[in-house]
């Protein structure tokens, strides 16, 4: 069984702080990595994708990938209360046929 592991949280950070979310995966054949944000009662929303080792920045979000360690992370700088949500990590083997999701990390940003 190919797995994606995330700390379920809840993770609480004060407004303006950096939130750090982590994810590990078991399939070394994974090629594409994604972070989704899911508000309560809503569907997942894609916020970042990363395909090669290193960092990828988009606004306040930075995704980090280390394929050797089978580890992907998401940093949220200057956290806002509107960032409070569940963050899902997903991986794909670039066949388009199988996507594996973690159970998600619940983030609360305290004003």
Partner 1 sequence: ETGVTQTPRHLVMGMTNKKSLKCEQHLGHNAMYWYKQSAKKPLELMFVYNFKEQTENNSVPSRFSPECPNSSHLFLHLHTLQPEDSALYLCASSHVGGSYEQYFGPGTRLTVT
Which residues sit at the interface with partner 1, rule CB under 8 A? Answer: 4, 32, 34, 36, 42-46, 49, 88, 90, 92, 94-104
| 24-51: burial string, b at 16+ Cβ within 10 Å, e else | bbebeebeebbbbbeeeeeebeebbebe
State in angstroms the smallest separation of the CB of 92 from partner 1.
5
State in angstroms the smallest separation of the CB of 98 from partner 1.
7
Taking the least distance from each CB to partner 1, the nearer of 20 and 38 is: 38
């Amino acid at each position: 069984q190919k797995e994606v592991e995330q700390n379920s949280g809840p993770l609480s950070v004060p407004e303006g702080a950096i939130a750090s979310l982590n994810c590990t995966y078991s399939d070394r054949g994974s090629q594409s990595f994604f972070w989704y944000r899911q508000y309560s009662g809503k569907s997942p929303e894609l916020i970042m994708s990363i395909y090669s080792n290193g960092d990828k920045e988009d606004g306040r979000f930075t995704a980090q990938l280390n394929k050797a360690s089978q580890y992907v992370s998401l940093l949220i700088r200057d956290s806002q209360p509107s960032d409070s949500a569940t963050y899902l990590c997903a991986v794909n083997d670039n066949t388009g046929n199988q996507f594996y999701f973690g159970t998600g990390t619940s983030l609360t940003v305290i004003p």
